[in-house]
Structure 1
Amino acid sequence: MSLQPQVEDAQGARSAFFIGADSDNVLEEQDHHPLILQKAKALASKNCLKEAIDLFSVAMRYGPVQPEQLGTLVDCILRNFKRQAAGPHSLSCRSRDSEESREEDVFDCPSCHRFLGEPVTIACGHSYCKRCLQRQLLSKCKLCSAAVGGGEEKANVILCGLLDKWFPDELKRSKTLCEVDELCRRRRYHEAVSLATDVIQGDSETMAAARLSRAEAYMALKLYRLALEDTESSPCSAEALFRKAMVLHEMGQVDESLQVFLHCLAVDEDFPGAKRQVEKILCDLLSPADENVKVGLRETTQNTSPHLRNKTLVTEAQPPSPVQRQHQVRAASAHNHLESLEKRWESLERPGLGRAHSLRAHGSSCGEEGLKRVCSAPQLGDEDKGSLLKRKLSVSDTEPCVVDTGNNKLKKQGVVKGSKHKVAEAKPCRSIPKDLLDPNDLECSLCIRLFYEPVTTPCGHTFCKNCLERCLDHTPQCPLCKESLKEYLACRNYLVTSVLDMLIKQYLSQESAERTKTHLEETSELSDLTKNVPIFVCTMAYPTVPCPLHVFEPRYRLMIRRCMYTGTRQFGMCINDPQKGFVDFGCMLTIRTVHFLPDGRSVVDTIGGKRFRVVSRGMKDGYSIADIEHLGDIRVESSDELQRLQELHDAVYEQARVWFQNLKIHFHNQILQHFGPMPEREADIQETPNGPACCWWLLAVLPIDPRYQLSVLSMTSLKERLVKIQHILTYLQSTPNN
């Protein structure tokens, strides 16, 4: 591969780094490692591959570098690899073109594009075949890029039942493939080979997947040539390339395996395992032969930086000490190592580099079963390792990025003559037999209606989203199998199962439209802020005053969710009445934020809005509802009367301010913490139907009986309200603070 790093930027950045290590401020040796490693990562992120390789190699001389720390270097190599591999006939392009030409089938796995056998629905709502998840063939969802966690292997019960009814033969074949994989996991490789062979001979639909599973078993049995034949007989895919690279790596063909791993990442950059394998190979290639060699930063920078090579730190007249001579020897070793890397780097820019040897030549001199794993990298010196890495990354400008495995040679044109690699052919979409389509198969077991926004739990059971949330309000267990859903409840990631939702809308369009209509009608009933308004029976609430709530009862959890879902974000607040259930007057609360706790409880931040009077009462799903009419102050029109009202308001406001300032400090702080500061004086006291905000703030903080507060809340005369508050303040000011 002819790679063109940004040499000027890299040299400038590298020079600045080395100059920073001034001779007068030599860092301790243990501090060198993280600094160099950080600089190497920065160069790799800027696509300066040559400089990055140099510094990663130096970093490994100062201390151990874990394979996962080479992630930025792998990304840099992959970017260059993709750029050189890009072309109309490249493997990755051919694979993508074949996938894009496929007609989307709802019954295909988004990962392997084969039948969705034993479907497993992951947290994001998309479903994959069990085989892809068990074999860890994806780290991110192919449809939405959501992270795919481990252990998500419980099949979707509803989908499995439907597929077994509609496509029994295909589901049976998929289960057989899973049996092959299970035999491999249990290390019963001979049985796995036998079963996979039966599948290949008897079924063309699952032949490719069976070959890859058999290749894994062959590799475990050290039958490498047979394993390679199976990988190359499969359609070109990330999984096939990864399996092929693993076989090559097991055989000790590091050169070939590295390039095939890169091919795999070019097809699917998120393929699990491939990047880790590349990191391990690079770590092995860049590691120094002598792990005890630690080159001092002063000598290393002096001998490796082209800008500082002529700078001497010790005068020629003064002979070096034994310690200095030892450092000079080590520095010379590091210098020779990096000089070798820089010289061999030039080979990257020359086309037609030959390979070390082909697998065919190697295989001709070795028996298949007797072939032992060879790892060449640990046997090489430092210079050879750097050279090997540069050679492994080298591909000619005139030759596409292809791999010679010995079993076949990919030609210069990129089209492989007689290659066993196949490109998946587009298949017609499956259709459900009409006589087997029954709406009853797609009913929620809780509401006994057609699924609306179907959600699948980690245990594999599916319910309407609203139905499931209502059940989780009462207990964090699956309504069917009673498996704990505490973690699922804590995440509250109730995303619609896309396959089921698509099936319902596509094949049961009429029933789906009716179900949607019913849901919208029910939702519209909840959106009316005068009819059937939800009532939270708890405490006194006032206009403009914050009212934080701790919601833990299942009925109120449901009520809050409905207020959020409908978009009104409002409900009524009343205090309890022993005879009626709740009093005749209350205040609407508007939800500002809801903080859900892991166990289902929530902390709801609300603020008071309009006042209301209850017209009629009722119940809905356990909580109170009411028909209400809103209240507002009667406006004063006479200018004289308005002036007297203004004077009364100003007197009460000043009296309240003095009372609040004279409170003991702990009472003062408690009020500030719960209700905030006293509102500012308003210019127009009749601007809103509820009057000045200071009146409601005072009612909330004054230590008076709730029934007395309720009588003030129900008043529609601002004058009467101010007089009541004035009487309360006068009484409190006449009584010493406790």
Structure 2
Amino acid sequence: MSLQPQVEDAQEARSAFFIGADSDVLEEQDHHQLILQKANALASGNCLKEAIDLFSAAMRYGPVQPEQLGTLVDCILRNFKRKTAGPDPLWRRSRDAEESRRDDVFDCPNCRSFLGEPVTLACGHSYCKRCLQRQRLSKCKLCNGTVGGEEKVSVVMCGLLEKWFPDELKRSKTLCEVDELCRTRRYHEAVSLATDAIQCDPELMAVARLSRAEAYMALKMYRLALEDTEFSPWSSCFAEALFRKAMVLHEMGQVDESLQVFLHCLAVDEDFPAAKRQVEKILCDLLSPADENVKVGLRETTQNTSPHMRNKTLVAEAQPPSPVQRQHQARAASAHDHLERLEKRWESLERPGLSRARSLRVHGSGCGDEGLKRVCSAPQLGDEDKASLLKRKLSVSDTEHCVVDSGSNKLKKQGVAKGSKQKAAKAKTCRSVPEDLLDPNDLECSLCMRLFYEPVTTPCGHTFCKNCLERCLDHTPQCPLCKESLKEYLARRTYMVATVLDMLMKQYLSPAYAERTNAHLEETRDLSDLTKNVPIFVCTMAYPTVPCPLHVFEPCYRLMIRRCMDTGTRQFGMCINDPKKGFVDYGCMLTIRSVHFLPDGRSVVDTIGGKRFRVVSRGMKDGYSIANIEHLGDTKVESSDELQRLQELHDAVYEQARVWFQNLKFHFHNQILQHFGPMPEREADIQATPNGPACCWWLLAVLPIDPRYQLSVLSMTSLRERLVKIQHILAYLQSIPNN
């Protein structure tokens, strides 16, 4: 008996099995994505309890990454703010205390400390390098601009700060050294350097203690780390102090407390990416199944999803539980007592009178830094219990207001509002530049050798006048000083003024700045005159009312187009080439309708014809031609009889042109429509504009005749002569057999 049929049957069975298994996997993935989408929708709608249910269920169907919980974090933060929205919530007082500080141009907008090693972002605002390196910023706090993270230190501003404030710059560099020691895991050296800095210079205390807290935490000296984060609840780095405190609590295993402090940090500063990532990780741990191999469908979850999923879940529940499931259910059932104790601990944490010392005693972590034990929020909780616990912790309560304690004791807590108001009322003294150190040459553009006007700082850290930089990028996408590639910077074309430098010039060099501004305005005024020194694009024929798309790639014309846009005229002249004169004596003004810039600096310019002109004199400016011109217009016919004959001639030519256009081959007909649009409608008043009927110029643009002949028609100021010329051209074209 042959074994071949049996082998084939086995192969078919195995194939069917794998196909069925693949189908189940795909179905599980679909369910997983469906639940995640619905959970995100509920979180966006602020339905916190339902969102937690679905996110918890999603983790039973498949893995969920922490970054996928961003919507849930936003929902929890909104509920946290609402829950703590008493008459004067602590997080609002914290934020108001920061915002009440008088702005100092030499302070970092993020940490409110001295702007040591300033980095200017693409939006034009400057931050200290320390804040950007520590990834405490994802958007500009002043304008919500994106932080690229690749910008280098501003060379000009570094030179100014080193000259004007050498002592403060030295302090700032000391803090950077402490951070560098922490990054290289030389924590003992970091503690020693930070301690010396605090003792020698009290002005460094606010930020240096936070850096030292990071080192203490790495050394597992948690008590000292907490003391450094709580030294002053209204410090200039309050959001970062909360973040550092939450990190210490999390390292100690006090996940519940750390979660609330992280939320407090985000309530003070929503743009704190590191804090949001930590909350996402904590939520992911709290909602994750105790055993990743256990995937149990919840009835209440599937009731909110598709009917197909409900049927699948009911079938699964009808079957006897597996040993792993029974073990999971037993573990969940045995955790109820611990759940109640954990609820009480959360309630006590939410009461405003709880001090840090008491919190440490409750968790058995006040007996020394080295002996601290890590305590999990819910070490034996089942999946359903953890989701239920999380909902109770984070849900909105109409009767209870939660205030997270960030002070050291009850007396300090009671007096914090009064102290904060006193400190908020006491404005910080702004730094002033020593008058004997002011030198306009320090704020001079290296390209035009004049005081900066609209200073722009490139990603490589060099600063130029905006116009000067754009002219250089017209020729090559590289920094004029260091030759670093600026292709991406050129592609974005976001040349935003460096606000700090601009403010410094206006405040400390006002006479020189006013003189520089007047010079710029005078130059712009000269460029705005549409009869003198008009820019001329030497390229092709252009006609009134007819579109003229242009591809601009030459550096001189890039500059010319940009100047037309900057001055607001949005106009330039178009002429064809003349071997002897450079360009012919007659042309047409073009009005820029839109400009599409390409990543490499080229542009596609959409223009339309305007007035005709005659060249009076010629010249050159910055590589392109200019001319003094006088505008042309048709001579009007006054006699009614003559006007009647002119109207009849116009109608005859229009009908002749319409017939010619309709009889064109399909290919040519479509090409004309694509480039020039349809033939203009017949006009009631043929003398309404100085240029006459639009159909004449449309015909002149599409008729296949020599440009010199077209130029002769363009220069005519008699509508009758123009119509006769076009009539002769149409008659000649119609006499040629249509092949």
Decide whether aligned partners of structure 1 residues 235 and 116 sit closer, same or farther in structure 2, where only a CA change above 3 A counts: farther
Equivalent residue of 1:536, what SS?
A: strand
Q: Which residue of 2 aligns with 1:733?
A: 734
3-state SS of paired residue (1:125): coil
Q: Residue type matched to 1:286 in 2?
A: L
Partners of 1:399 and 1:735 in 2: how far apart?
A: 92
Larger deviation: 601-610 or 695-704? 695-704
In 1, Cα distance between equivalents of 2:620 and 2:503 = 36
Aligned-pair distance for 1:618? 0.8
Residue pairs, 1:257-406, within 5 angstroms: 257-296=258-297, 299-300=299-300, 324-326=318-320, 352-353=347-348, 358-362=359-363, 367-371=368-372, 373-377=374-378, 379-390=380-391, 392-393=393-394, 400-403=402-405
Summarize the Cα distance change of 1:365–1:351 in structure 2 as closer, same or farther, 3 Å threshold.
closer
Whole-angstrom CA distance in 1 between matches of 2:185 and 2:345: 46
The equivalent residue for 1:141 is 140
Q: Which residue is 1:70 aligned to?
A: 69
Distance in 2, Cα, partners of 1:376 & 1:491: 47
1:588 equivalent in alignment to 2:580: no
Aligned residue pairs: how many? 694
Does structure 1 residue 520 correspond to structure 2 residue 525?
A: no
Report whether the alignment pairs 1:486 with 2:484. no
Query: Structure 1 residues 384, 600: CA separation in 2 closer, same or farther (over 3 Å shift)?
Result: same
1:116 CA drift (Å):
0.9
TM-superposed deviation, 1:67: 1.7
CA shift in 2, pair 1:178/1:321, >3 Å: closer
Distance change >3 Å, CA 205–CA 395, structure 1 → 2: farther
Deviations 1:554-577 (A, max 9, x none): 110010001000110000000011
What one-letter code is carried by the residue in structure 2 that aligns with 1:691? G
State the partner residue of 1:159.
157
Aligned AA for 1:614? V
* Post-superposition offset of 1:457: 0.6
Structure 1 pair 285–525 and aligned structure 2 pair: CA distance change class (3 A): same
Residue aligning to 2:23:
none
Percent same amino acid at aligned positions?
80
Q: CA deviation at 1:118?
A: 1.0
Say if 1:285 and 1:388, in contact at 8 Å, map to a contact too: no
Amino acid at match of 2:404: V
Choose from 173, 178, 197 the match for 1:199.
197
Q: Is the 2:550–2:606 Cα contact (8 Å) retained in structure 1?
A: yes
Distance 1:549 1:369, change over 3 A: same
CA distance in 1, matches of 2:732, 2:430: 82
CA contact (8 A) 1:345 1:390 kept: no
List aligned pairs for 1:237-248, cutoff 5 A: 237-248=238-249
- Give the corresponding residue for 2:210: 212
Counterpart of 2:549 in 1: which secondary structure?
A: strand
How far off is 1:360 after superposition?
3.5
What residue is the counterpart of 1:579 in the other structure?
Answer: 580
2:408 aligned partner, one-letter code: N
Q: Which aligned pairs between 1:669-680 and structure 2 lie closer than 5 A?
A: 669-680=670-681
TM-score (norm 1): 0.87
- Give unpaired runs (5+ residues) of structure 2: 1-25
Q: Distance in 2 between matches of 1:258 and 1:351?
A: 11
Does the CA-based 8 Å contact 1:444-1:463 persist in structure 2?
A: yes
Match of 2:408 in 1: 408
Tell me if structure 1 keeps the 8 A contact 2:57–2:297. no
Asked if structure 2 preserves the Cα contact closer than 8 Å seen for 1:300 and 1:331, the reply is no
> Is the partner of 1:273 in helix, strand or coil?
helix
Q: Which region of structure 1 is more displaced relative to structure 2, 469-478 or 183-192?
A: 183-192
1:415-430 equivalent positions in 2, closer than 5 A:
415=415, 426-430=427-431
1:334–1:78 Cα change, 3 Å: farther
For the 8 Å contact 1:408–1:419, the answer to whether it is kept is: no
Is residue 295–residue 334 contact of structure 1 (8 Å, CA) maintained in 2?
no
| Secondary structure, aligned partner of 1:641 | helix
Q: Give the Cα separation in 2 of the matches to 1:394 and 1:657.
A: 74
- Inter-CA distance 214–296: structure 2 relative to 1 (3 Å threshold): closer
- Residue 83 of structure 1 is matched in structure 2 by 82
Spell out, residue by residue over 1:183-226, the C-alpha distance to the aligned partner (whole angstroms, 9 max, x if none). Answer: 21122222212211111111111111111111111222222222
Aligned counterpart, 1:173:
171
Show structure 1 runs of 5+ residues with no match: 1-26, 315-319
Superposition RMSD in Å: 3.4
CA distance in 1, matches of 2:284, 2:440: 57
Render the CA deviation track for 1:668-700: whole Å, top value 9, x for unaligned: 111111111111111111111111111111111
Contact 1:211/1:234, CA 8 A, preserved across alignment:
no
Moved more, 253-262 or 369-378: 369-378
Structural mapping, 1:12-31, within 5 Å: 28-31=27-30
More helix by share: 2
Report the alpha carbon displacement of residue 350 of structure 1 after superposing the two structures with TM.
13
Aligned residue number for residue 43 of structure 1: 42
Note the alpha carbon deviations across 1:212-270, whole angstroms, 9 max, x for none: 11111122222222211111114441101001111111111101110110110111011
Note if contact 2:478-2:485 (Cα within 8 Å) is conserved in structure 1.
Answer: yes
Amino acid aligned to 1:490: A
Q: Deviations over 1:491-545 (max 9, x none)?
A: 1100000001111111111111111111111111111111111000000000011
Partner of 2:5: none
- For residue 403 of structure 1, report the CA deviation from its aligned partner: 3.7
Question: What per-residue deviation string (whole Å, max 9, x for no partner) do you get for residues 566-602 of structure 1?
Answer: 1100000000111111000000000000000111110
Q: Flag the 1:68–1:364 CA change in 2: closer, same or farther, 3 A.
A: closer
CA contact (8 A) 1:633 1:717 kept: yes
Q: Which residue of 1 aligns with 2:664?
A: 663
CA distance 1:507–1:87, shift in 2 (3 Å): farther
Query: Do the aligned partners of residues 279 and 191 (structure 1) sit closer, same or farther apart at CA in structure 2, a change above 3 Å counting?
Result: same
Cα displacement string for residues 299-341 of structure 1 (whole angstroms, at most 9, x for unaligned residues) = 5568x78xx9xxx999xxxxx9998333899899999989x99
Partner deviation per Cα, 1:698-736 (whole Å, 9 max, x = no partner): 111111111111000000111111111111111111123
- Shift in alpha-carbon separation, 1:201–1:661, aligned structure 2, 3 A: same
Structure-2 residue corresponding to 1:110: 109
- 1:619-698 to structure 2, matched below 5 A, reads 619-698=620-699
Deviation, 1:465, is: 0.6
Compare 40-49 and 714-723 and name the one that shifted more: 40-49
SS of corresponding position for 1:587 = strand
Three-state SS of the structure 1 residue aligned to 2:210 is helix
Larger mean Cα displacement after TM superposition, 133-142 or 234-243: 234-243
Q: How far, CA to CA, are the matches of 1:112 and 1:102 in structure 2? A: 12
Give the aligned partner of residue 91 of structure 2. Answer: 92
In structure 2, relative to structure 1, the CA distance for the partners of 1:470 and 1:502 (3 Å cut) is same
